Amino acid sequence: MTFDFDRRIDRRNTRSYKWDQNGKLYGDPDILPLWVADMDFQSPPAVRETLEKRAALGIYGYAIRTDGYLDSIVQWYRTRHGWTIEPQWITDTPSVVTSLSLAVELFSEPGSDVVLQSPVYYPFYDVIRSNGRNVVKNPLSIRDGQLRMDYDQLESLFREGAKLLLLCSPHNPGGRVWSREELLRLGELCLTYGVTVVSDEIHCDLALPGHKHIPFASLSPELADITITCLAATKTFNLPGLHTSYTVISNPSIKRKFENRIKALSLHMAQHFAQDAVEAAYREGGPWLDAMLAYVAGNIDYAIDYLAEHLPEVKPLRPEGTYLLWIDCRGLGLDVAGLKDLMYRKAKVVFNEGSTFGNEGEGWLRINLACPRSIVEEALESFCRAAKEK
Ligand SMILES: Cc1ncc(COP(=O)(O)O)c(C=O)c1O
């Protein structure tokens, strides 16, 4: 089956977070948005068909969670990731960020230190701070054109008492798909110091051709025992507006505590549309996903080559996963305000400004490449032209 990822679909006036806030946020309704992480591609045909059937019911009543839905998740991880999970380890949650926030609330003490690896997806900071905990950073460094973990600094944070780590795997931004060795070394430290790991693996299915995601909890039973894995089909199949996700927790007491809190907040009821979409995606979306990843890999090659030729002052990190390109723009000599001015006013494009991921991201930009090639071409052309005129 072939899929048309080149087709430009007009998403304006659809209540799109990315396309319908241009005027409000950037003062120009026609600016080109390549920021928030959803795709400008239609979801797999099986998802659309199942949702159309569900919508045609006309009655949007309370729904149940089916065994088939749970089985579709179990089968997906078995075949796609070689990871065996049990249906009873799964707890539905409205969103991965909800799961992260509940995990911080439940598995760290008020006022305690929670570790993240910066620069990182900005809600990691919010869920720690809004729960009254302290963000402690284990900054990533760059070696051989890739983000790397600093284990010595991490160990000192654990030695000083931090008991919870928020891991982003694959990493956003920067697109690292952590290797087995890197994760094992991290895991060793967590086991030694009694640290619980909240592993956000929402990008797990977006390892690019040639790279393989390793679920942290799959590394050993001991690591599974200290891990809350936060997952969703939403990033994989472009369903984030359906607002559905789940956790996988094999440790019964952690699972019970987490599930009790979900019930206390009455977040446990099945969503009317989401389950059908997720099950259809997992059962029938594999070929679409493979084709989409190949297309995005082409966009990444295109963008890296284009920038090397037209704006060599900026240095992208080549992602191993995700559809996000993390670009070092410090060579342009602009501060945060200058980069925003370059994007929004001069180039008429929106990429994510890097300092929102932590001060390590200052001078960097993140580009969402899950869009038709022609949009990538247009955005890069405008950006490079404006950067050269500055
Ligand atoms: C690492 C990471 N976690 C979580 C999310 C958002 O997940 P959700 O919409 O389920 O809260 C994103 C979205 O970009 C992300 O990159």
Q: Is the pLDDT of residue 48 over 70?
A: yes
Q: Is the pLDDT of residue 390 over 80?
A: no
pLDDT, tens digit, for every residue of 125-135?
999 999 999 99
| Mean pLDDT value across residues 167-194 | 98
Mean pLDDT of the chain: 97
Q: Is the pLDDT of residue 318 over 80?
A: yes
| Mean pLDDT value across residues 309-338 | 98
The alpha carbon of 198 and the centre of ligand 1 are apart by a number of angstroms equal to: 13
Nearest-atom number in ligand 1 for the CA of 244 is 10
What top-level class would CATH report for the domain 61-284? alpha beta
Return the CA Rg of the chain.
21
At residue 269 the predicted structure's pLDDT band, cuts being 50, 70 and 90, is: confident
Q: Is the pLDDT of residue 51 over 90?
A: yes
Domain ranges of the chain: 22-44+286-389, 61-284
More confident residue, 369 or 268: 369
Quote the DSSP letter at residue 321. Answer: B
Q: Is the pLDDT of residue 176 over 90?
A: yes
Q: Are 140 and 154 in contact (CB under 8 A)?
A: no
| Mean pLDDT value across residues 107-122 | 98
The alpha carbon of 96 and the centre of ligand 1 are apart by a number of angstroms equal to: 6
Q: Is the pLDDT of residue 3 over 90?
A: yes
Name the H helices within the chain.
22-26, 45-56, 67-81, 96-107, 123-129, 151-159, 180-193, 221-224, 234-237, 252-264, 274-284, 286-310, 336-340, 373-389
| Mean pLDDT value across residues 306-311 | 98
CATH number for the segment(s) 22-44+286-389 = 3.90.1150.10
The alpha carbon of 29 and the centre of ligand 1 are apart by a number of angstroms equal to: 26
Q: Is the pLDDT of residue 70 over 70?
A: yes
Ligand 1 pocket test, candidate residues 36, 91, 92, 97, most atoms within 8 A of CB: 97
Q: How high is the pLDDT of residue 56?
A: 98
Report helix, strand or coil for 147. Answer: strand
pLDDT, tens digit, for every residue of 198-221?
999 999 999 999 999 999 999 999
Ligand 1 shell residues, CB under 6 Å: 37, 95-97, 121, 168, 172, 200, 202, 232, 234, 240, 245
| Mean pLDDT value across residues 219-231 | 98
Ligand 1 pocket test, candidate residues 172, 235, 278, most atoms within 8 A of CB: 235
Q: How high is the pLDDT of residue 38?
A: 96
Nearest-atom number in ligand 1 for the CA of 98 is 11
Q: Are 349 and 382 in contact (CB under 8 A)?
A: yes
At residue 43 the predicted structure's pLDDT band, cuts being 50, 70 and 90, is: very high
Nearest-atom number in ligand 1 for the CA of 36 is 14
Nearest-atom number in ligand 1 for the CA of 322 is 16
